[in-house]
Structure 1
Amino acid sequence: MSQDQNTSTPHDSRRLHWAGVVCGLCAGVWLGAAEAPTKLVNAGLSPFAVSLCMVSGVFAARWTLPTLLKGTSQVAGDLMRKKYLIIWALLAGMMWAVANTLTVFAIRDVGLTIAFPLWNTNSLIGLLWGRLLFGELKKASPANIARVVIGTVAIVAAATLLGFSTMHGGSSPSPHAVQGILAALGASLLWGTMYIPYRKAYISGMNPLSFVTAFTFGELGTVFALVWFLDGGAKAPIFHTVGLEHLLFWLFLGGFVWVIGDIFQQFATKYLGIGRGIPLSNTNQLWGLAWGALVFGELANASATQRIMVIAGSLIMIGGAIAISTAVATQREHNSMQDMLQRECDRYNLDIREVVRDYSRPEFDSSGKRSIGDYAIVATATAVFLYLGLKARVPQIAFSSQWVVVLVVVMLASVGAGIFALRKLSNS
C-alpha cells in the first residue's frame, strides 16, 4: 500500500487497498486487449510504423480522458505545482515508447501468446526498484516476504518455461524465436524501470491523470524519432504508403484501449505501490493469452506439449503475481515507507502536509468548469476517430468474432467496476 496510509485509519487503509486491487485487475483486462491490434504487423506494416500509429492514438487518448475527467486547468495546476515531475514524466514516456516498439517486434517473432508473459516479468524489475528506492517491503512481516519470494520465483520459472516453449519442436516454430524473446525481455526491463517516475509522482501527491498528460510528449517524440532514424526518415513507408487509412483506425483504437488500462494501472501503483500494483496489472498476461489463443487462434497448430507449456507457464505466472499482490503491508512497513516519503519531500523542498493533502484529494473533480479549449480537445480527438473509423475495413486476418464480443463485454464490465471503485473512494 501507499506510504501515506499510515496517517489514516485502518478502515481508510482497507478502502485504499480495495480500490487499488480493483484498478489493478481492471488494468489487466484493458492492457491485455490493447496489444491485439498489433497483429496488423503481419499485414505488411513495419513494427516502427505500428508503434507510431498506436502511440498517436495514445497521444489523443491521454489528452482526451484527463480533459473529460478533470479539465485542462486542473491538470495544468497539478503540473505547475510540481514542475520537477514534468522531466520525470517525459522520461517515463520515452521508456514506454521504446518498450512498446519492442513488444511489436516480439509479437511479430514469437506471437502474442508467448510475448505477453515474457515482458510481464517487469514485475520483478518493479519489485526491485520499489524495495531499493521507495522502501517497499522494508520491515515487512515474514509472511509478506515469503509471499513475495515465492511469487518472484514463480514468475521467473514461468517466463523460462514460456520462453523454451517457443523453441519446442512444434508444427511451425518461429525462425526468429530468440530475437522475439530478447525484444520481450527488453520491454520488460524498460517497463519495470518506468515505474520509478510513476511512484515519484504519486508519493508527491500528483494526480495520475495529470502525470499522463505530460507523459504523452515523451512517448510521441521518442517513437517519431525511432521511425525517423531507424525506419527510413522522411522516406519511411509509414509516411508514403497509399491506402493506409483502413488500418490506422485499428491501431489508434489499440492506443486508446491501452491508455484506459494504463490509467487504471497508475491508480493501482498509487494505492498499492510498485511491488504490489504491477503484479496485479500483469494479469493482462491472462487476457493477452485469451486474445491470442481464442480470437486469433495462435495455438491452433501448436503441439500438445507446447500448449501444456504455455498454459502451465501462464498459470504459474498468475499465481506468482497473486502471491505478491496479496502481501498486504503491515504498520511497520507503512512507517518505513513514510520515511521514504519524508526523504522525497526533503529532496524537492516539499511540505509533507501539503503532499498528504494532495494525496487525499478526489481523483475526479466533475465540479470544475470546462473551458472552450477543453471542448475543442475532445471534439478534435472524436473527429479524428470518426474520420479513421469511416475509412476502416476489417483486416484480412483470421479471427473469431464471437470471442471478440465476449471479451469486449468483459472489458466494459471491468471499466465499470474500476470507475465505481474510484468514485466511491473519492466520495467517502
Structure 2
Amino acid sequence: MASKCLEFHVKRCEAELVVPTKPTPNELKYLSDIDDQDFLRFQVHFIWYYRNSPSPLMEGKDPVKVIREALGKALVFYYPLAGRLVEGYNRKLIVDCNGKGVLFIEADADISLHQLGDRIQPPCPFIDQVLYDVLGSDGIIDCPLLLIQVTRLTCGGFILALRINHTTCDAFGVFQFMNTLAEIAKGAQQPSIPPVWERELLFARNPPRVTCIHYEYQQQQPLSIGQPNLDKTSSDIQCSFFFGPKQIRAIQKHLSSHLVSYSRYELLTAFSWRCQTLALELDPEDVVRVSIMVSARGKKYHGLHFPQGYYGNMFSFPAAVSKAGVLCEKPLAYAVDFMAIQGRPPYNAVRGNLIVSDTKNVHLDNVNFGWGLPLYGGLAKTFNGGSIHAKYRKNGEDGILVLMSLPFLAMKRFQEEVAKVIGEDKPIIKILSTL
C-alpha cells in the first residue's frame, strides 16, 4: 500500500551557478578506471531533513544563506566538482577543472516536517519538488556535476536535496564533501579531512595485465522474458521495506541451526534476492545473481593504500549465482549459504539480477550544519535493478530500510513473499514512487 498522496507547493528561485570563492587550478584531471565505467554514468540523488533546532551559533540565521555561502568556500577544496566532464581517447572521462560552478536553488515550501510525517522515508515521492531538474543539467558530458536545492519549511526546518554525477564520487565521497560543507558552514576555515584526488591509484597497468578471471564483466545469457508475468513492458516502481529487530527475528526463524556466522546485511540481501526471484516468476532454468558492492576504503590491496581523503569510487561487486528454480524451491538457508561461498559471476543490469549497496556505515546521517542531526540523511531513492540498505529509525526503533525497484506486479508479489516470512498481515510497503 502506498502512502497517501500529500500535496504541497514549492516556490523556487532561479537556479544559480556557485563558483569557488578563490582562484583554483585550471587543469585536466583524469577519472579512475573504476569511475568512468559505463554503468556509473548516471545521477545519484541524496536528501537530508532538518528540524528547526539551531545551535546558538545559528540562532536567527537563514540555512539557505549559510549553506549557499559555505558552498563557494567548500568548492575551493573540492574544485574538480566545479568543473565539467569531457571525453578523451576511447571515451576516457576527464574533469576539465574550469571553475564553471555547481547549480544551487533556493526554495520555500508551504508544509512542515510534521505534516510530511513518515513520507520522509525513502524513496522520496516528492523528490522533483525539493530537487528541481534544471533543464539540460542532468547529462554526463559538459554539464554541472552537482545540483543542490535547499528548501525552507513552514516549521523553520529545511530540506537539503542533492544530485551528483556518480562518476565523480561514491556515497562516502558524497559524505566527505557534505561534511566539509557542514564544517565550513559552522565556521571552519578548511576541512578536517582534506580531499585527495589521486585517481591514478586505480588506473589499469600499461599494458593491462589480467591476473585472474573476472566473470563479472562477461556477457550474460538473456532471461526468458517472454512470460507475461515478468511485466517487462511496465515501468519500475520503487518501494522501501523496514526491518527492525522483530522482523529480523522472524526471518532468522526460517534458517537452519547450522548457520551461525552471518551479518544482518547478508541475511537481508539473501532474503531480498530470493523474494525478488520468486516475485519475477522467471523460468526455473534462468540464471539469476546477486551482486554486492564492496568498498575498498580502509583496506590495503596488493600494496595499494588509499588516502583517507580519497573521494572517488572505490568498490567492486563480488556476487553469487543460481538457477531461479533452485533458489525458489530451496529454503532461505540455501540463499544465505550460496551467497557466501560462490565466486564472481557476471555483472549485468539484466532483469532478475539484484545489485545491492549497503550505505548504513557511510555516516550520511551525521551531517550537521548547525541545526542538529537530520531526521533522515541518505539516498533519496535507489536505481533500476538495484537495492539500497540504509539506516532508519521508525516509531522509536532503529532498523534497516531496504529499497527495491521492480515492475508493479512483481513488487506486489515481492510484498506478499516478504509478508509470508515476516508474518505481518498489513502491507509493509510504505512508499511507492514511479521511476
Please report the TM-score for the alignment, with normalisation by the length of structure 1. 0.25
Q: Which has the higher strand share?
A: 2
Q: Which has the higher helix share?
A: 1
Please report the TM-score for the alignment, with normalisation by the length of structure 2. 0.25
